[in-house]
Amino acid sequence: MKIIRRIAILLVMFLSASDYAVLYGQVVRPRLLLSAADVRLMRESLGRYAWFDKAYGEAKEAVDRACASPIDVPKPVDAGGYAHERHKQNYREMQSAGILYQVTKDERYARFIRDMLLQYADLYPTLGKHPMAASDEYGRLFWQTLNETVWMVHAAQAYDCIYDWLTIADRGTIESKLLRPMARFLTIEHAATVDRIHNHGTWMVAAVGMLGYALNDTNLVDIALYGTKKDKKAGFLRQMELLFSPDGYYAEGAYYVRYAIQPFIILAQAIENNQPELKVFEFRNQILKKAIVAELQLTDANGRFIPINDALKEMSVLSQETILALDVAFLRYGDRGGWLAMAQKQGKVSLDASGLAVARALQNQGTPTTFASRSVEYIDGPLGDEGGIGILRSGPPDDQSMLVMKYGAQGFGHGHFDKLGFLYYDRGREIVQDYGAVRFVNVEPKFGGRYLPETESWSKQTIAHNTVTVDGTSHYGGVYRVAQEHHADRHFFSAANPAIQVMSGKIDGAYRGVSMQRTMAMICDSALPKPVILDLFRIDSKQKHQYDLPLYYMGQFIHTNVAYRAFDSARTRLGLSNGYQHLWKEAEGRAAGSVAFTWLQGDRYYSMISAADTSTFVMFTRIGAGDPNFNLRSEPGIVLRRNAASTVFATVLEPHGYFEPVNEISLKATGRVKEINVLVSTAEATVVEINGTGSLHWLFAVVNGEASTEASHSITVGGKTISWKGNYSLWKH
Amino acid sequence: MKIIRRIAILLVMFLSASDYAVLYGQVVRPRLLLSAADVRLMRESLGRYAWFDKAYGEAKEAVDRACASPIDVPKPVDAGGYAHERHKQNYREMQSAGILYQVTKDERYARFIRDMLLQYADLYPTLGKHPMAASDEYGRLFWQTLNETVWMVHAAQAYDCIYDWLTIADRGTIESKLLRPMARFLTIEHAATVDRIHNHGTWMVAAVGMLGYALNDTNLVDIALYGTKKDKKAGFLRQMELLFSPDGYYAEGAYYVRYAIQPFIILAQAIENNQPELKVFEFRNQILKKAIVAELQLTDANGRFIPINDALKEMSVLSQETILALDVAFLRYGDRGGWLAMAQKQGKVSLDASGLAVARALQNQGTPTTFASRSVEYIDGPLGDEGGIGILRSGPPDDQSMLVMKYGAQGFGHGHFDKLGFLYYDRGREIVQDYGAVRFVNVEPKFGGRYLPETESWSKQTIAHNTVTVDGTSHYGGVYRVAQEHHADRHFFSAANPAIQVMSGKIDGAYRGVSMQRTMAMICDSALPKPVILDLFRIDSKQKHQYDLPLYYMGQFIHTNVAYRAFDSARTRLGLSNGYQHLWKEAEGRAAGSVAFTWLQGDRYYSMISAADTSTFVMFTRIGAGDPNFNLRSEPGIVLRRNAASTVFATVLEPHGYFEPVNEISLKATGRVKEINVLVSTAEATVVEINGTGSLHWLFAVVNGEASTEASHSITVGGKTISWKGNYSLWKH
């Protein structure tokens, strides 16, 4: 007995509280993003890794400041003003305070969380639907459920961190007046959102799941994992199956994945800490890893997300969400190619075991391998059969051409009617832009920081994109419900040869009786300083239609060969609906041969040369009409209009020359390419010729029929037969 | 005799060619920018000073490339295309080759210059007036004399550098077919320009003077120094008297001094090397030093010149001209406060003795003292009695507010009709802009890179500036001849108290019967994160007029309290002439109390709050109407219009809040100042009150009568008498 007592004493001396908990079958906390082991490791690591110390120091400074200030839990009133921002600040501070409490065991932090949660527990039962609620997805603390779930994801972590410290009475108050009612609000009042396959749904299941673990409530956890009916037709795992394509492309696109990845990552961490047997990071061939790789690839040379769909252009890999995602990915998968370098670029790590892992690696390794952005295609749809998005790149990161073409699915409610649209960047600068969304996020005087009406009326519409609008209406009649059921198709994507990279996509159903195919090539030539873009937009129809192809160039109009009439004393709009009402018509004219237009962006000139004859009408436009609230950016465009049945818009984009205003240097303000002609376009193939100064004579052929790298083709052009093998061919004479 | 022979032999062994030249009364070369002693020093310094080695290496690389390429001296055909640029390249390469020849004695460089000069000697006699000549100031090699003189300034240096190496026959050819005819062309055909007090005149006398020294022709040198009549009523020294104010402000303004300083500096160097007895660097109390200090002060936080008059906004202290000017100033005057730091920022030194001096100092000293941009007033006019320009600054260089007000003379033909106009910067960003000139310098498709017609029709006009236009016409009827004979006046400038800095200017003659006074203050308050600007524009007239006061804000329209009607389906212009034809009217409305308008620029909000009642009409405008060639930038403005006899436009500009789109943070999108009211405005003083949230109640008084820091004032406001001493007073309640 004495020996046994001694052993017991030894146990008391060497076991931690959590070890006891394990011994006695209790819940070991913290258990959500942090495990007890993580906390020990973090504590021991302080002062050893500069990057981690920085994260710790910043959190400590912010939370210490918060602890020294009065707690404010204001009545919810706005959708983007003080109360809205304060509740966001509160959940961030609580979450950080929880981590700090665990690491330091300083009770100031625990008291801060307790006091705040008790104030929320006082407030919450008094709340009904938020006064600014604008849809079924209303919240109580916030105007929309989305923010409410984000609040919960953070608050659940804070609660978990101080759970063991709280009195039973306080736990009772917090759970009965706040957490349980919120759980009911979320899982019952918003059951539809729990089961929704959508980023709001992901945040919802993350909130419910985190709360489930925090409350040690298996029912909530199961709802989060498998849907309200627990039949696995919804819930977290199903979302991982349906929201990503097999290669990790997120259905809503590049900007949204940044936001959507966070609840995936957070809940996955909590699951891994509590139900490792689910092997969530291995799920679907490591779909989370693929998603993060895709997220990082879908950025411009400055790390900003390619702004397709309802995107805000400034958003980048520097965002908190991406920092956390990358750190967790590093922890779970190791460095899968330049991830450490990307973390270094982010300049911060997250304050948890994953951030610690990155900090340690950054400290112990030399200069990490650069993240290699490359030419890549992502297929779209859960099964990968709903078209895709292609990115062609050429040149080193600091002097890179990037071309993006979209030929995938709609991407839910934030998707745009922009099939076969493209974006073109040079050195991280937008040269041909996608407008993105019309929104000033969190800017209170701008509709509470929400999406502005012009997102629907302008930026989602087809005419707002660099693709063809038929008869002045958007794809699928601009009806989301229809568009969401259809998708474009990939034709081929070929990036193996750096001298010529080509991608091609097709869409048949966007307009009745009109088939479209767009082929875009990035061509390097030793005689040209930068790659040129070749763009063949083939339209096939039995009926005559009006085809409008805009180019939203960024920069200063320098020159055009189109004899135009300028509307410079009075100005009207291009149309009355479908986005046309937002375009001023600045000038119009008729082509006389290939249209040439040159603009200046930064220190480089760009020219567009497009096959045309007098049947092509050219309009110079400016965004900003129909905008009584000054929500739009005043930016230019050029629109090619043609009334035809079948036709091909064949265009070259050529970067050239140099402008340096400090030393007053302007070189080669005129490009080399002078004309492009469509020689033939049949069901089998399209052939164009490109002519320019200095003996530039190119012939390019692309297959319109079934794609195959092996098939041979021959076609007669002007009495002469040309032959090639594969999907395309380029001849330089 | 033997001893004498031995001495002679010793002399032969130890004396250089130039020493002999001195012994025999010959001209010692080089003698223009470089002296023989400079050359020796440069040669000995190679490999010792990194900055100098860089300048040498770059020049060598460029000239070696030029020497290995065919010489091209094309027929002059254009005003900004290949031939134009090639002739510029040629003179730059010749000048550099001359320096390299002197330093290395490598005859390749000498041959390069000789061959090129001989080609010019072949070409020049065949030339008449340049085919693109557009005025009396035509050239032969170039479309305007100005470029021709710049060519000569460089070519004369090259010729001087290889003079001793050339055969007498080649000298004969070059002088008789090229240099002498050019000298005649410049001094006889363009005698008026030689005598012109203007930057073209400065380049002209520099060209003539440099050529004079190169040809050892005292007549030419005297013409350069004293004018064609040699009566000292024109020429270099007279220009130094008339083109700068006593404190160094250059008549054409901040952008032009950069260009104009170069011939001053170059010819001064040549004079110092040849006629040191003229003490040119001491002339007029070291006016060249003052000019350089003023040039450096007249920049924004990014080193770009304040773009008043016909300025191009990108131009900065990084320009070659400023590098040379600063290096020479350092050589001649030593470091007069942050000059070395500025040279370091320039990143380059010039390839001569002055660049060497800077390179040596940069190498031998630690981190140099930062250049201190500060609040400063420059008086205008040769005697300093033609008004001036005031700059108020607050905050450290990386977070600096800068306010510029112009109350000086017209500044010759590139001057704008912008009396009492202002510019406002925050952290080097334009917040309230001056348009600058309409020009794409050297961009051939844009009118050969020359000033575009919209410079006259738009950017010179009063309405294009942040000042009052009366009855829709520009100051002085927009007539240069009249404007050049008048000037505004300084009222007072007070920057001693960092908490409140105030400047005030007046103009009486810009409109018949209308007196104007503008007082602008930069006020720091511990309760406000950034200084606010107070702007009181007082107009006194017996007759009723239409007063338009625009604010060309830079950024995104966020909110206004004006109930306006938006012209968003059809748009017309503000007027038909005097610049109004270039403004689209986007919206208009009538004030109902103080006008409030908020915009977002970068990560900060700015609000304008202006005293008004229903007699104030507000228009939102956009630049770009009447611009068939797409030469203008599409940028917004807000115009306050009031029909009145005497009135005061009283405005506060308040920076506030924070916007950070990556972390989606928006704070304080609404400012604190809510209203400003004019309480009284008499011949003696104007008093305004400013009210805002958080108990912000200010009273500000400014003296309208004679300025004096000592005089006491008292004025009755709403039955209460307030008293103060000096030109202004601020009361905070």
Confidence of residue A366 (pLDDT cuts 50, 70, 90): confident
Closest residue in B to A304 (Cα) is B662
Question: Are B502 and B520 contacting, i.e. CB atoms less than 8 angstroms apart?
Answer: yes
Residue B62 with chain A: CB contacts under 8 Å: none
Measured in degrees and rounded to the nearest 5, phi and psi for residue A321 equal -60, -40
Cβ neighbours around A642 below 10 Å, total: 20
Arithmetic mean of pLDDT, B525-553: 97
Find the distance separating the first CA and the last CA of chain B, reported in whole Å. Answer: 98
**Nearest-CA distance A89 → chain B (Å):** 10
Cβ contact B569–A581 (<8 Å): yes
pLDDT of residue A540: 97
Q: Look up the ipTM and state it.
A: 0.92
Measured in degrees and rounded to the nearest 5, phi and psi for residue B572 equal -130, 180
The single-letter code of the amino acid at A661 is P
pLDDT at residue B22 is higher than 80:
no
- Any chain B CB within 8 A of the CB of A318? yes
- Taking the C-alpha atoms of residue B519 and residue B657, their distance in angstroms, rounded to an integer, is 26
Nearest by CB to A663, from B319, B622, B664: name it. Answer: B319
DSSP code of residue A488: -
Residue A620 with chain B: CB contacts under 8 Å: 630
Question: Are A654 and A528 contacting, i.e. CB atoms less than 8 angstroms apart?
Answer: yes
Q: Which tens digits make up the pLDDT trace of B578-637?
A: 999 999 999 999 999 999 999 999 999 999 999 999 999 999 999 999 999 999 999 999
- Taking the C-alpha atoms of residue A420 and residue A423, their distance in angstroms, rounded to an integer, is 10
Residue B630 with chain A: CB contacts under 8 Å: 556-557, 586-587, 620
Which residues of chain B from 596 to 635 reach within 8 Å of chain A, CB to CB?
Answer: 598, 600, 620, 622, 625-630, 633-634
Residue B558 with chain A: CB contacts under 8 Å: 440, 443, 445-446
Find the distance separating the first CA and the last CA of chain A, reported in whole Å. Answer: 98
Cβ contact B449–A662 (<8 Å): no
Arithmetic mean of pLDDT, A619-648: 98
Cβ contact B634–A630 (<8 Å): no
In 3D space, the residue among A516, A521, A490 whose CA is nearest the CA of residue A424 turns out to be A521
**Nearest-CA distance B602 → chain A (Å):** 11
The dihedral built from the CA positions of residue A688, A692, A697 and A700, taken in this order, carries a sign that is negative
Chain-centre distance for alpha carbon A316: 9
Cβ contact A556–B625 (<8 Å): no
pLDDT of residue B23: 52
In 3D space, the residue among B564, B521, B515, B512 whose CA is nearest the CA of residue B538 turns out to be B515
Confidence of residue A367 (pLDDT cuts 50, 70, 90): confident
- Any chain A CB within 8 A of the CB of B526? no
Q: Which tens digits make up the pLDDT trace of B258-268?
A: 999 999 999 99
Q: For this structure, is B120 an active site residue? A: no
Chain-centre distance for alpha carbon A410: 14
- Taking the C-alpha atoms of residue B726 and residue B496, their distance in angstroms, rounded to an integer, is 13
**Nearest-CA distance A681 → chain B (Å):** 35
Cβ neighbours around B58 below 10 Å, total: 13
Arithmetic mean of pLDDT, A272-278: 97
Helix axes B107-123, B145-162, angle to 10 degrees: 140
Closest residue in A to B303 (Cα) is A662
- Taking the C-alpha atoms of residue B667 and residue B470, their distance in angstroms, rounded to an integer, is 39
In 3D space, the residue among A585, A609, A587 whose CA is nearest the CA of residue A596 turns out to be A609
- Domains of chain B as residue ranges with CATH: 1-26 (no CATH), 70-229 (1.50.10.100), 376-732 (2.70.98.70)
Confidence of residue A81 (pLDDT cuts 50, 70, 90): confident
Q: Which tens digits make up the pLDDT trace of B24-82?
A: 557 899 999 999 999 999 999 999 999 999 999 999 999 999 999 999 999 999 887 78
- Taking the C-alpha atoms of residue A500 and residue A495, their distance in angstroms, rounded to an integer, is 7
Q: In which residue are the tokens 């032999």 written?
A: B9
Helix (H, G, I), strand (E, B) or coil at B136: coil
Q: For this structure, is B49 an active site residue? A: no
Cβ contact B571–A571 (<8 Å): yes
Arithmetic mean of pLDDT, A634-650: 98
Q: In which residue are the tokens 């979209």 written?
A: A406
Q: DSSP string of B369-381?
A: PPP----EEEE-S
Nearest by CB to A622, from B568, B634, B659: name it. Answer: B634
pLDDT of residue A17: 47
Q: Which tens digits make up the pLDDT trace of A159-206?
A: 999 999 999 999 999 999 999 999 999 999 999 999 999 989 999 999
Question: Are A682 and A466 contacting, i.e. CB atoms less than 8 angstroms apart?
Answer: no
Residue A573 with chain B: CB contacts under 8 Å: 569-570
- Taking the C-alpha atoms of residue B402 and residue B374, their distance in angstroms, rounded to an integer, is 9
Q: Which tens digits make up the pLDDT trace of A16-36?
A: 444 555 455 578 999 999 999
Question: Are A380 and A389 contacting, i.e. CB atoms less than 8 angstroms apart?
Answer: yes
Which residues are CB-neighbours of A390 under 8 A, at least 6 positions away?
A376, A377, A404, A405, A407, A490, A493, A503, A505, A520
**Nearest-CA distance A83 → chain B (Å):** 12
pLDDT at residue B151 is higher than 50:
yes
Tokens of B716: 């009755």
Q: In which residue are the tokens 């951030």 written?
A: A355
- Taking the C-alpha atoms of residue A266 and residue A631, their distance in angstroms, rounded to an integer, is 35
Arithmetic mean of pLDDT, B500-511: 97
In 3D space, the residue among B532, B529, B362, B324 whose CA is nearest the CA of residue B431 turns out to be B532
pLDDT at residue A575 is higher than 70:
yes
- Taking the C-alpha atoms of residue A85 and residue A628, their distance in angstroms, rounded to an integer, is 28
Burial of A130 (0-12, 13-18, 19+ CB in 10 A): buried
Active-site hit among B120, B250, B256, B435: B256
pLDDT at residue B127 is higher than 60:
yes
In 3D space, the residue among B94, B109, B100, B112 whose CA is nearest the CA of residue B43 turns out to be B100
Which residues are CB-neighbours of A550 under 8 A, at least 6 positions away?
A463, A465, A466, A469, A621, A637, A638, A639, A640
Helices (H), B419-548: 453-454, 480-483
Rounded alpha-carbon distances, angstroms, from residue A170 to A94, A114, A173: 16, 8, 5
Active-site hit among B84, B414, B475, B713: B414
- Mean pLDDT, rounded, of chain A: 95
Whole-model pTM: value is 0.93
Cβ contact A670–B445 (<8 Å): yes
pLDDT at residue B17 is higher than 60:
no
- Taking the C-alpha atoms of residue A549 and residue B11, their distance in angstroms, rounded to an integer, is 82
Tokens of B288: 């060249």
Nearest by CB to B627, from A568, A598, A625: name it. Answer: A568
Which residues of chain A from 60 to 99 reach within 8 Å of chain B, CB to CB?
Answer: 80, 85
pLDDT at residue B362 is higher than 90:
yes
Cβ contact A569–B581 (<8 Å): yes
Arithmetic mean of pLDDT, B195-199: 92
In 3D space, the residue among A422, A419, A424 whose CA is nearest the CA of residue A476 turns out to be A419
Cβ neighbours around A230 below 10 Å, total: 13
Helix axes A353-364, A320-333, angle to 10 degrees: 70
- Taking the C-alpha atoms of residue A435 and residue B732, their distance in angstroms, rounded to an integer, is 46
Q: In which residue are the tokens 């810009």 written?
A: B510
- Any chain B CB within 8 A of the CB of A216? no
- Any chain A CB within 8 A of the CB of B316? yes
Helix (H, G, I), strand (E, B) or coil at B674: strand
Nearest by CB to B659, from A443, A569, A625: name it. Answer: A443
pLDDT of residue B367: 79
Arithmetic mean of pLDDT, B140-153: 96
Residue B663 with chain A: CB contacts under 8 Å: 319-320
